[in-house]
Amino acid sequence: MRIRTYFDNVRTDVRHAFRSLRRSPGFAAVAILALAVGIGGNTAIFSVVEATRVRAIPYKDPERLVTLIGNVDRGGTVERRGASYPDFVDWRAQATRSFEDLAAVDPQMMTLGGIDEPERIETEFVSASFFPLLGATPALGRAFREDEDRVASPTAVIVLSDAMWRRRFGADPNVLGRSVTLTGEPFTVIGVMPPGFAGIEDVAELWLPFALWARRDTMTNRGNRGFDVLGRLRAGVTLEAAQTEVDTIASRLAREYPSTNDARGIEVSPLATELFGRLRLALQLLMAAIAFVLIIACANVANLLIARSEVRRREIALRMAIGAGRARLLQQLVTESCVLTLLGAAGGLLLAEVMVGLLTTQSPVPLRIGFAPAVDARAAVFAIAVSLVCGIGVGLAPWLQIRIADLSARLKESSRGSDGPRSQRLRNSLVIAEVALAIVLLVGAGLMIQSVRKLAAADPGFDPDSLLTVHISVPSASTPRPPGTPARPVVTSRELLDRVSAVPGVAAVALGTDTPYGSSSSATSYTAEGQDGGFTGQNRPRTYQHRVSPGFFAALRIPFVSGRTFLDSEVSATPSAVVVSERLVARFWPGQDPLGKRIKLGLDADSPWLSIVGVVRDVRYRRVAEQDRDPDIYLPFADRNAQIGFVIRTTVPPATMIEPVRAAIRAANASIPIYNVASMDERILRQAGFSRFITWVMGVFAGIALWLCALGIYGVMSYVVTQRTREIGIRLALGAQPRAVLRAIVGSGARLIVAGVAIGSVASVALRRVVSTQLLDIPLTDPATGLALVLFVLVGLAACVVPGLRATRLDPVRALRQE
């Protein structure tokens, strides 16, 4: 009977709540809209976060898939590095207790030939264990066998993606056995993967045996590293247990091979974390931001409900007088507020659909094929749960003021026509909390905006204006050559430079093995002459090397600190001259003339010495946001390098030069594929894209918070004016100046604003630490912080002025008649 009575009471309270909302459509609209924004935003972010979980990885038992990442301790700093093939073989043979199997994988771009126009495509070199480990079976043909993936005798076979099969082979069912030309070499098609399978990087169009990844001497060298290792945990094995086992293996290899494995460890990380780690961190930040918006919305609604409960105080007092207990009143108030928040959740689900679409379409991060956030049943359950929690919290606010006042005091307040001081303190506390949370969001958005601006304005060490970057892959000539001699390219770098420089609008052109922000640089250990003592194992100095044409520094406008660029006579495949960056000189020869000093690359004692002929300014070659601690060195470009990047300084907008430059390269040789074409400004903006996206979303949330907070302040001050109508009328009748009344109203609101701003400013310090991974070094005293505070204070004061002006226009006679 008690259960039946409880549900009868709930049904009655729900009907009463709907009748009450129909009687106050303005209140209902404002409250539901505020809740819909807060709940909808939280639901949208939740949907995206949920999509980044392992269900977004379209492989068998994705929660058991991990990556094994080699790392090295370099002077107390642990750096992530790729694996070497001998290490991979040892890991696979020894880590049998924790792993079902391991697979090697490395993405690379290759040139697909044998067609009208050669094309650069995304490929993956994978070991024979790769497809079984992922639980992927070819839809046509078969995958690699172990005997086809032996370093001693690899087989030139490939497996196509479904997209490649349809795009290049017209979904020909007889494709198996056909020959495909990759980088000038023939490969035989043995399989086609099912639709949707695109490898670990989610962009691969075909797969090759890993034994073809590099030359045999590279594959057998334990010091040559650079690929990823994928693993599948055995059922029931924890991440911690697997980490313990690989730690033991790493220690054993360090003892057996100290020259290559000293201070080297192995990190076991979930595959989902590696694929979505950065996105998840950003989403957590956005989740916290939109949670603040929801709290502000709930505080607004709580204030509105408190105001309504004051209007309903005679009804509540009579209910208590005829025997309604506080628990029964709590049930009624919470039920009414839950009805309100559930209506907000319904609107929030509709809003979440729109927000999820915006988040995914505007994301600067390429989304995986399996990444498909949607407002589904999970999201609906989340929205309902959030709305019920908010409903309970919001319903407690008016109940608290009933609980802290006795019945006689409530009846006296009713006759007086004003609310009690405890109710005022509760409302004021909610407003202060709203202000503090809004300040945190505004300051956070301001800091991120400044961070993005600073990132875009960071000095890269060269002049990025009017620079076009173009990458090509030069195939080897098919003419016979003596045994042991390197293959000659179909066209020389000198001819390419001459053709591109002759294009109208080109002011300067140079080439190199890589370009800033456009392709990866190779890193190697080096030795400085006379400074080679004290370095052992992995702590040897490391540098990033680039092979460039002599005009490279002039084309990018990289200033020389001392010395010169290369002479034509120094351009050779086995150079004797080198240009270094300032960091290398500062490490070994501070305060000295570095010209003529010598360095050697690699760990081989027989490596030739290179004489320093020039020192250039440090360049942010790989990341705009931070400077690498390792220096850069530049060697003369040699025609044996097939991958070439052009840097072209133009006298016209770079975008207008793309087609003329393409035509000039095609005129040199039609078999050269052209790819990765972009202006330097585009590359820099792309690097800042993720931070700009987060800043944009944070700015939207901060704007919503500012609007909700201003609405809350306005509502409280309007209610204060309404409650003090009789008092204000008496003041005006006794001769008080309207300015004094306005000053009193605005002053009471300003005190709340100042208190909230103070609390929010202190909380912003903690926010700065939380978002430090997304920010450059922006101090809290940055002008953006001050601007955010000033903006909020102005908006808050404006919200106080409007009710204050209304108070100054009160008719004293009507105000005195009001009870």
The pLDDT tens digits for 4-45 are 666 676 777 788 778 877 877 777 887 888 888 888 888 888
Q: What is the mean pLDDT of residues 511-526?
A: 84
pLDDT of residue 145: 93
Q: What is the mean pLDDT of residues 577-597?
A: 91
pLDDT value at 312 more than 70:
no
pLDDT value at 115 more than 80:
no
pLDDT value at 340 more than 50:
yes
Provide the 3-class DSSP secondary structure of residue 57. coil
User: Across the chain, what does the average pLDDT equal?
Assistant: 81
Q: What is the mean pLDDT of residues 252-260?
A: 88
pLDDT band at 768 (very low <50, low <70, confident <90, very high): low
Instruction: List C-alpha distances in Å: 369 to 55, 133, 200, 335, 366.
Output: 12, 19, 11, 43, 9
Which residues contact residue 24 at a Cβ distance below 8 angstroms, ignoring those fewer than 6 apart?
308
Provide the 3-class DSSP secondary structure of residue 73. strand
pLDDT of residue 224: 83
Top pLDDT among 142 and 293 is at 142
CA distance 603 to 593: 26
pLDDT band at 416 (very low <50, low <70, confident <90, very high): very low
Q: Each residue of 156-192: pLDDT tens digit?
A: 999 999 999 998 888 999 999 999 988 878 999 999 9
pLDDT of residue 415: 43
Provide the 3-class DSSP secondary structure of residue 413. helix
pLDDT value at 676 more than 50:
yes
Tell me the DSSP string of 274-330: HHHHHHHHHHHHHHHHHHHHHHHHHHHHHHHHHHHHHHTHHHHHHHHHTT--HHHHH
Q: What is the mean pLDDT of residues 292-312?
A: 75
Task: Determine if residue 415 is left, alpha or beta; phi over 0 gives left, psi from -120 to 50 gives alpha, anything else beta.
Answer: alpha
pLDDT value at 331 more than 80:
no
Top pLDDT among 817 and 765 is at 765
* Count of helix runs (H) and strand runs (E) in the chain: 24, 23
CA distance 31 to 541: 63
Q: Each residue of 614-634: pLDDT tens digit?
A: 999 999 888 876 666 789 999
pLDDT of residue 633: 93
pLDDT of residue 456: 66
pLDDT of residue 568: 86
pLDDT band at 547 (very low <50, low <70, confident <90, very high): very high
Angle value at C-alpha 241, between 235 and 244, nearest 5 degrees: 145
Which residues contact residue 796 at a Cβ distance below 8 angstroms, ignoring those fewer than 6 apart?
435, 709, 710, 713, 749, 750, 753
Angle value at C-alpha 778, between 775 and 784, nearest 5 degrees: 105
Top pLDDT among 122 and 810 is at 122
pLDDT of residue 772: 55
pLDDT value at 468 more than 80:
yes
Residue in this structure with the two tokens 């972010």, named with its chain if needed? 45
pLDDT value at 350 more than 80:
yes
Long-range contacts of 6-10 (CB under 8 A, 24+ apart): 9/328, 9/331, 9/332, 10/331, 10/335
pLDDT of residue 775: 53
Q: Considering the entire predicted model, what is its pTM?
A: 0.76
pLDDT band at 129 (very low <50, low <70, confident <90, very high): very high
pLDDT of residue 806: 75
Q: What is the mean pLDDT of residues 738-754?
A: 82
pLDDT of residue 318: 66
CA distance 68 to 103: 10
Top pLDDT among 791 and 252 is at 252
**Which neighbouring-strand residues pair with 525?**
542
Taking the mean position of all CA atoms in its chain, how far away is CA 195?
Answer: 28
pLDDT value at 496 more than 90:
yes
pLDDT of residue 332: 77
pLDDT of residue 414: 44
CA nearest neighbour of 512 among 610, 613, 611, 619 = 619
pLDDT value at 781 more than 80:
no
Element of type H or E holding 547: strand 542-548
pLDDT value at 819 more than 60:
no
Contact of 409 with 344, CB cutoff 8 Å? no
Contact of 597 with 529, CB cutoff 8 Å? yes
**Which neighbouring-strand residues pair with 560?**
616
Lowest pLDDT segment from 378-387, 585-594, 802-811: 802-811
pLDDT band at 770 (very low <50, low <70, confident <90, very high): low
pLDDT of residue 208: 96
Q: What is the mean pLDDT of residues 199-210?
A: 90
